[in-house]
Amino acid sequence: MSQHHKVDLEHAAAAEDRTMFGFWVYLMTDLLMFAVLFATYAVLRNNNVGSPPGSELFSLPLALANTLILLTSSFTCGIAMIAARRGDKGQTLLWFGITVLLGLSFLGIELFEFAELIHEGHTLGTNAFLSSFFVLVGTHGLHITSALIWGIAMLFFIKRRGLDRHIVRKLSLLSLFWHFLDIVWIFIFTIVYLMAFV
């Protein structure tokens, strides 16, 4: 391997390391944004002026279904990353595709849940409790949506250009983001849904 090529590889490896580190810092800033929403929810959750409390509004079965879907999708995302690092284009497309489908079903169930609440007259403008519920869960849903847009774009990318180190690097950032959103959902499931019934 020529000196020039070795320097280029070092250069590329250092750049990748920096990008991963920078993405982690970004994830921490995202976590802080969610922290504000959780704090706001904690302060406002009992201010259900003119609406039933969470225990009468939330559907635990649906929330549990969503939790299992997201956990499974994190698992399939992990398998996809193993395939990607191995250079297996077909498996990567398959398992990322399943992850995207699971993500879409998560969104679908969540939108159904929101639609039901709005249909019953419980909107985000009703009171502080519902405002903080819809914005917290909705912000998570928006993040999931962006991850899915990113994921679908990546699927096209991989199909067109195959797997190389740049694309694998981008995929590891996406999978980090996906796992992060899964962890945030666990917190939402616990603090919003489970604790409503305590």
Partner 1 sequence: MRDFLLGKLDGSALPHEWHTIAGSISFLLLGLMVVGFITYKRRWKWLWKEWLTTVDPKKIGIMYFIAGGAMLLRGGLDAVMIWLQQALASGDSTGYLSAQHFQEIFTAHGNIMVFFVAMALIFGFINYVVPLQIGARDLASPFLNTLGFWLYIAGVVMINMFFFVGGEYAAAGWLAVAPLSGKEFSPGVGMDYWVWSLQISGIGTTLGGINFIMTILKMRAKGMTLMKMPLFTWGSLCSMLMVVTIFPLLTMTIFLLFFDRYLGTHFFTTTAGGNPMMYTNLIWMWGHPEVYVIILPSFGIFSEVVSTFSRKPIAFYKTTVAGIIGVAAISLCVWLHHFFTMGAGADVNSVFGVATMLIGIPATALMFNWIGTMYKGKIKFTTPMLWFLAFTSIFAVGGITGILLAIPPVDFQLHNSLFLVAHFHSTAVGGVLFGIFAGFTYWFPKMTGIKLNERIGRYSVAAWFIGFFVSFAPLYMLGLMGATRRLNHYEAVTGYQPFFIMSLIGSLIICLGVALQIIQIIASFMQKRRLVDTTGDPWDSRTLEWSTASPPPDYNFAEIPEVSTRDAFWEMKQTGIKKPVFKDIHMPKSTATGIYISALAFTMGFGFVWEMTWLVVVSIVGIIAVAIARTFNDELEYTIPAAEVEKMEKEREAKNKAIEKERVVDEEDMGLIEFIKVVLSWAFGLLRRSKR
Cβ distance to partner 1 smaller for residue 35 or 82? 35
Quick one: tokens of 13?
Answer: 């490896």
Rounded-to-integer distance, Cα 20 and Cα 13, Å? 11
Output the smallest distance, CB 193 to partner 1, in A: 20
Q: Judged by CB under 8 A, which of 49, 90, 121, 198 binds partner 1?
A: 49
185, 67 in Cβ contact below 8 A?
yes
118 binds partner 1 (CB under 8 A): no
Cβ distance to partner 1 smaller for residue 51 or 74? 51
Q: Judged by CB under 8 A, which of 1, 25, 61, 119 binds partner 1?
A: 25
> Of the ranges 54-62, 81-89, 92-100, 124-132, which one interacts with partner 1 (CB under 8 A)?
124-132
Contacts 24+ apart (CB under 8 A), 181-186: 181/70, 181/140, 181/143, 181/144, 181/147, 182/70, 182/71, 182/73, 182/74, 184/31, 184/34, 184/140, 184/143, 185/66, 185/67, 185/70, 185/140, 186/67
Which of 141, 144, 138 lies closest to 100, judged by CA? 144
115 binds partner 1 (CB under 8 A): no
59 binds partner 1 (CB under 8 A): no
**Count of residues near partner 1 by CB under 8 A:** 40
Ranges within 80-99 binding partner 1 (CB under 8 A): none
Q: Judged by CB under 8 A, which of 59, 105, 127, 172 binds partner 1?
A: 127
Which of 147, 119, 120, 123 lies closest to 134, judged by CA? 123
73, 185 in Cβ contact below 8 A?
no
Cβ distance to partner 1 smaller for residue 52 or 71? 52
The residue ranges that bind partner 1 (CB under 8 A) are 4, 11, 14, 17-19, 21-22, 25-26, 28-30, 32-33, 36-37, 39-40, 43-44, 47-50, 124-129, 131-132, 134-135, 149, 153, 157, 166, 170
